[in-house]
Amino acid sequence: MREITFSQATLEAMDEEMTRDETVFVMGEDIARQGGIFGQFKGLPAKFGSDRVKDTPITETAIVGACVGAALAGMRPIADMHFADFVGVCMDEIFNQMAKIHYMFGGQKTVPMVLRAPDGLINQAAAQHSQSLESWFMHVPGLKVVIPSNPADAKGLLKSAIRDDNPVIYFEHKSLFSRKGPVPEEEYFTPIGKAKVVTEGSDVTLVSYSLCFNHALEAAQMLGKEGISVECVDLRTISPIDKDTILESVAKTSRLVIAHEAVKQGGVGAEISAIVAEEGIDYLDAPIVRVGAPFTPVPFAKPLEMAYRVTPQKIADAIRKMF
């Protein structure tokens, strides 16, 4: 199987879906002239033209609002946010329009659109360009939220998101764009709403997603050398969340750790903890452990940024304390 980067994998997904379906188009800042800030749209303007790869003014409100309107008119738009941090500018369009129209119209209209949101901490991008905001959108009915950890799922989830008749927010960690991994050459889809047990274990369940799932795998390898068997579950989708896979794993291991780069308070880990407490408390032989960022904006200073980061070592240390 060939290896390509996360960015190339998403580019392939876009190319394939735009070739297959003329109603698919993309709007955003600097995507036609620049090819996207992380190169994830390179080549698409030359192939599909300015009608389907549209550069926009710096106004996220207009980008998302126009895409909602286009989706209602029968198109399948993809809105690019440049940085996920900018979703705050267009929140009304996201949670009051994009998420609710299908319900408020009694199912008569759908909003088949994707919002691509590059998120996560990169070196010294500081408080307004480094955030992980995915838990905001778990709280909004009507939205699906996907968040891949590797190139194969990046392509498969994006293709599934584009074909879905519901609005999908597609978070993609900026540090993953340059990472390579195996990606099938034949067409495939990664199902939305289905987690994956990537490594099986017997002592503890470790749930994570996005870049942090790669840290979880490293932590599991460290602990394996110490005799602690870790089962790693990649969520891939955080809304709808695959509680069945999580509960089945916890029933097997009797311990649960959730790790994510986002702030721990009110994060995805809190929701998973609540699910297991409500539906699987009898499985547990130890308290649930969450690993996340401290409750502070992302710092700019390098030493503070390093202290803020969730690392494989921090995940491993949290698990060791359970034993």
Catalytic residue set? 129
**Which stretches does DSSP call E strand in 237-313?**
237-239, 256-263, 289-293
Left, alpha or beta for 267 (phi > 0: left; psi -120 to 50: alpha)? beta
Q: Which amino acid is at 239?
A: S
**Cβ burial, residue 180 (10 Å; 0-12/13-18/19+):** middle
Distance CA 135, CA 133 (A): 6
Distance CA 155, CA 80 (A): 16
Closest listed residue to residue 258, CA positions, set 302, 318, 300: 318
Distance CA 43, CA 141 (A): 35
HSE-up of residue 103 (Cα within 13 Å, Cβ side): 11
Distance CA 132, CA 85 (A): 8
Q: CB–CB of 67/93 below 8 Å?
A: no
Burial 184-201 (b: 16+ CB within 10 A, else e): eeeeeebebeebbbbbeb
Distance CA 4, CA 135 (A): 29
Determine which helix (DSSP H) or strand (DSSP E) holds 70, and give its type and residue range.
helix 60-72
Supply 83's token pair.
Answer: 């940085």
Q: CB–CB of 205/246 below 8 Å?
A: yes
DSSP designation for 24: E
Which residues, other chains included, contact 91 with Cβ-Cβ below 8 Å and sequence gap of 6+? none
